[in-house]
Structures are given as C-alpha cells and as structure tokens.
C-alpha cells in the first residue's frame, strides 16, 4: 500500500513538473512572438505563437490563442491543458493552464 502511495505521489510530481515546463515554454514563445512581431500586427503574433508552440512540442488549439490589438498595445491570451492521465489516446485528467501577456506599443 505504501509503495502505491509513493508511486502515486511520484507520478503527480512528475506530471506537475511537465505542466510547469509547458507553461514556461509557452511563456517564452509568447514573449518571443511579441518581441519579434509586435510591429507587424496581431495576426502575425498569433501565427508565431502557434508555430512556436508546435516547435516546442506543446499541443495547443489555435482557437484558444487570442491576440487583441489597439493603437497602443497588443494583448495575448492563451489557454491549453496538460494531460496528466491518458488512456487509449483519451485524456482522462488534464490540468488547465492559461497565460496572459500585453505589450505597450511605443
């Protein structure tokens, strides 16, 4: 029984580390997209985020990447989930994650 508890806690820690990794990875992708494409507009920032997430190996749904644009700022909202338990290709338990960034234009 103790071995199962230790195994469960170890797996939960492992899944938590992977979820944190995906958050940090996408945070860097969003920051890079804003730095590189902010002058080009919301559409290119959004495309850069989706491409960067794919290259980083983090699965996101393009419908959950929202980039808003005004004269003075760009705002990004990104939502995704990290699978904790999957069985036969279906995610049974997922950790929902989100990220928001904004950048003021000069």
Average pLDDT, the chain: 90
Question: At residue 105, does pLDDT exceed 80?
Answer: no
Question: At residue 54, does pLDDT exceed 90?
Answer: yes
Find the domain containing 50 and state its range.
Answer: 2-104
Question: At residue 23, does pLDDT exceed 90?
Answer: yes
The per-residue pLDDT for 16 is 87
Q: How many domains does the chain have?
A: 1
State the average pLDDT over residues 3-13: 87
Question: At residue 106, does pLDDT exceed 70?
Answer: no
Identify the burial level of 82 via C-beta atoms within 10 angstroms of its C-beta, where 0-12 means exposed, 13-18 middle and 19 or more buried: buried
pTM of the model: 0.86
């Amino acid at each position: 029984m103790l071995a199962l508890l230790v195994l469960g806690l170890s797996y939960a820690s492992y899944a938590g580390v992977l979820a944190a990794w995906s958050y940090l990875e996408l945070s860097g992708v969003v920051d890079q997209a804003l730095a590189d494409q902010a002058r080009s507009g919301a559409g290119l920032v959004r495309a850069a985020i989706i491409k960067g997430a794919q290259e980083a190996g983090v699965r996101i749904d393009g419908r959950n990447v929202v980039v808003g644009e005004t004269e003075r700022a760009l705002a990004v909202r990104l939502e995704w989930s990290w699978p904790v338990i999957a069985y036969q290709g279906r995610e049974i338990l997922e950790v929902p994650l989100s990220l928001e960034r904004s950048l003021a234009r000069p």
